Chains A and B, each alone.
Chain A
Amino acid sequence: MPPFEYAPAPESRAIVTIEKSYGLFVDGAFTRPKALFPTINPADESVLAEVSQAGPKDVDKAVAAARRAYEGVWGRMSGAERGKYLFRIARILQERAREFAVLETLDNGKPIKETRDVDVPIAAAHFFYHAGWADKLEYAGPSPSGAAPPRPHGVVGQIIPWNFPLLMLAWKIAPALATGNTVVLKPAETTPLSALLFAEVCQQADLPAGVVNIVTGDGTTGQALVEHPDVDKIAFTGSTEVGKAIARSIAGTPKKATLELGGKAANIVFDDAPLDQAIEGIVNGIFFNQGQVCCAGSRLLVQESIHDQVVAKLKRRLGTLRVGDPMDKNSDLGAINSRAQLDRITSLVDAGVAEGAERWSPECSLPAKGFWFPPTVLTGVSQTHRVATEEIFGPVLSVLTFRTPQEAVAKANNTAYGLSAGVWTEKGSRILWMADQLRAGVVWANTFNRFDPTSPFGGYKESGYGREGGRHGLEAYVTTAPASLSTSATGAVR
């Protein structure tokens, strides 16, 4: 079925002003731009702006500013006052939502309808949710009666990925500030602009100088932040490989860490599933944000008896997806974030074909410039194929089959990761049994890729430790343990 013809409906980029170059945001002000590198629009490879590469000295200044702000202002402020700052930030994000949506789409390449309907509103919701916690922390965790109230760690170093730049910033900064920590945040090298615009929000909110510091740069900037001796805690979202390096780096030190790493989620469809809903869930699971999602449902496990039916329906649905200009409000899929990521997706899919998988994509014309990959389905995938074990982080679905629930569980859990999983069936008892058996931090039953500030998110096994969101997410930013006991694993003791 061909897609309906739609006239282009491009969002205007006039709403957002992008500076020619940006400094770092340290101690409440922007530094003079230097050591510049470009950030580009992945949809057409045009340069959007130049941003500064923060070196170890810059990181040191940012950490010092955060320390001063922690000891001088933020760590002493009442929770109620802290909360009011967070409410202000939430409101400003809502007021400037369109601006953020446009900027995020330009810098990241994802469709405007996603930034407009998901990234930005949920980012604002995270600040709103955590604002309310700031003066209620003694109710947040099971501290023994008479114990000292939970206390912040101090200065938190936060490193976030490029797939949800503003949303990951919100997941990191909102709980850190609500609990009384101060922050040095490093946005991803390819998507720094929304974090720099957020710095302006901090200024508009009159947030005290040094409470939030933004340092842009590549991996070496992140490494300098992780290794800085005056950082008390690291919060990282990104690849499992870098997460392990961070865990090694802080080993044997008093530094705490939470790690939200990769995934290879199974999306399991039983023969009694509501198939039309399941198809929508499969599509949303792997093609949302071009599949550049750590919890993406990248392994479709479909019961053997309905394999052909599901694949046929899936192909029909993919034929209606519109891939193209991310700024067009009709676009379902946008651009891949970078050439490096495009190369990785391409090479993994090639490896899958070489190992025997059958590759299929709908007919779609991709723009000549920019980084593009068509929605792709790989059938005939077996468990040992690289496309079934390695995180592709792209719009690529690997299809495998199972016969019994036990086999579905065994295959779903046969991975080093454990971030998320999906189950589709009309049988309630089977949903609950499956949810018990799946070794994953988030299980979506008859839905997929749902996010909410009240709902804890995070992985088992090599998908990391610690949770973000909900009451559980706060635990990563406070300590309630006796001062004599600490751990680098999850929870308040970390």
Chain B
Amino acid sequence: MSRLDVRKTYKLYIGGKFTRSESGRSYAVQSASGEFLANASMGSRKDVRDAVVAARGALGGWAGATAYNRGQVLYRVAEVLEGRRAQFIDEVGAGEGLSARAAGVVVDAAVDRLVWYAGWTDKIAQVLGNLNPVAGPFFNVSAPEPTGVVGVLAPQRSSLLGLVSVVAPVIATGNTAVVVTSAARPLPAVTFGEVLATSDVPGGVVNLITAQTAEVAPWLAAHRDVNAIDLTGVAGADGIDWGALEVAAADNVKRVLRPALDAGGAPVEPDWSADPGLTRLRAFVETKTVWHPKGL
């Protein structure tokens, strides 16, 4: 007689805790071939607001941590993700309809991307900052600082590699994140939350909300305590006008990372296997310039 599986309850990840949606709602998640996989929590406006509170609360500690420390924590995330390789191959394979071999390539790339960003934490200020030779007796230095709380609409198609590719640069530079996961493929994100929770990432630094993107994105875009928003996940999401999200974001002068567009101007999900470059690391930092006189 075969043993019955103990299934996992997929919840939100807010403030370092796994919670159900305050709305009490859930939705059925299907595999690429249409089979039932699990019920995921359907996050709400209130969940977004709770997540912003958590992200704001975590910002001081995370932004104030040394870059070396953030790098070690990100590397730890990569380690723990590697340790769960088989589990992610199953989840990514089922959700994205990939063979075990193809899913393995994706999971490996996600681990490697985390390692790449882990190494950036204590170099980005050196690459983006500098002394300025002003015409006078002053010490003058410019360096990047985190923008603050960043809302992230994670990609719809690439449920792990895409997710890691948008979240890692946000937190590598010291921001905290409120992430709306892929609507149709949310399960790897929840499991990634378990990775974060066991990787010394302080609670609230990354908050993951499984939800219908079109329902919660406007609240995230309009939230006055969110400093920036990444619109990557509008590509392939149903019923979203990204221009309207950008309009809402203007209310508090949010920094907006626009979606990639195809030749016809429609949002398109980037190729996550490509070299990410510095684009995302530079999108959510602010340059601070400090002056001080020189003299006896």
Contact = CB atoms under 8 A, between A and B. Distances in A.
Interface of A: 125, 142, 144, 147, 240, 243-245, 247-248, 251-254, 259, 261, 416, 431, 435, 440-447, 450, 452, 454-458, 460-465, 467, 470-472, 481-482, 484-493
B279 interface: yes
Given A452-B136, A490-B286, A447 B247 contact: no
A6 to B, nearest CB: 28
Contacts of A240: 253
Contacts of B258: 486-488
A468 to B, nearest CB: 11
A447 B265 contact: no
B293 interface: yes
A442 B142 CA distance: 9
B243 A253 contact: yes
Given A243-B253, A487-B257, A493 B282 contact: yes
A261 B250 CA distance: 13
Contacts of A487: 255-258, 283
Contact of A142 (B128, B142, B247, B254): B128
16 contacts: A125-B135, A247-B250, A247-B253, A252-B244, A259-B253, A447-B292, A450-B136, A455-B140, A456-B142, A461-B227, A470-B142, A486-B260, A487-B255, A487-B283, A488-B256, A490-B283
A490 B255 contact: yes
B261 interface: yes
Contacts of B244: 251-252
Interface in B151-194: none
B1 interface: no
A485 B270 CA distance: 8
B277 A144 contact: yes
Given A144-B277, A489-B256, A455 B134 contact: yes
B287 A441 contact: yes
Contacts of B274: 482
Interface residues of B, number: 52
Interface of B: 127-128, 130, 132-136, 138, 140, 142, 147, 227-228, 241-244, 246-247, 249-258, 260-261, 265, 268, 270, 274-275, 277-279, 282-293
Contacts of B252: 416, 461-462
A446 B137 CA distance: 12
Query: Which of A248, A251, A461 neighbours the largest number of chain B CB atoms within 10 Å of its CB?
Result: A251
A100 to B, nearest CB: 19
Contact of B291 (A243, A248, A450, A470): A450
A31 to B, nearest CB: 34
Nearest to B288: A441
B285 to A, nearest CB: 8
B142 A472 contact: yes
B160 to A, nearest CB: 20
B261 A484 contact: yes
Contacts of A484: 260-261, 268, 270
A267 to B, nearest CB: 13
Given A450-B134, A455-B289, A488-B258, 16 more contacts: A125-B135, A144-B277, A245-B250, A247-B250, A259-B253, A445-B290, A447-B138, A454-B134, A482-B274, A484-B268, A490-B283, A490-B287, A491-B283, A492-B279, A493-B257, A493-B283
B289 A457 contact: yes
B253 A244 contact: yes
Nearest to A147: B277
Contacts of A454: 132-135, 140
B291 A443 contact: yes
Given A142-B128, A252-B247, A454-B133, A447 B257 contact: no
Nearest to B224: A416
Contacts of A482: 274, 277, 279
Nearest to A250: B246
Contacts of B261: 254, 484, 486
Contact of B260 (A458, A467, A485): A485
B246 A488 contact: yes
Contact of A442 (B147, B228, B256, B291): B291
Contacts of A464: 253
A457 to B, nearest CB: 7
A456 B283 contact: no
Query: Which of B227, B243, B278 neighbours the largest number of chain A CB atoms within 10 Å of its CB?
Result: B278
A133 to B, nearest CB: 13
Contact of B289 (A244, A456, A493): A456
Nearest to B140: A455
Contact of A455 (B132, B227, B268): B132
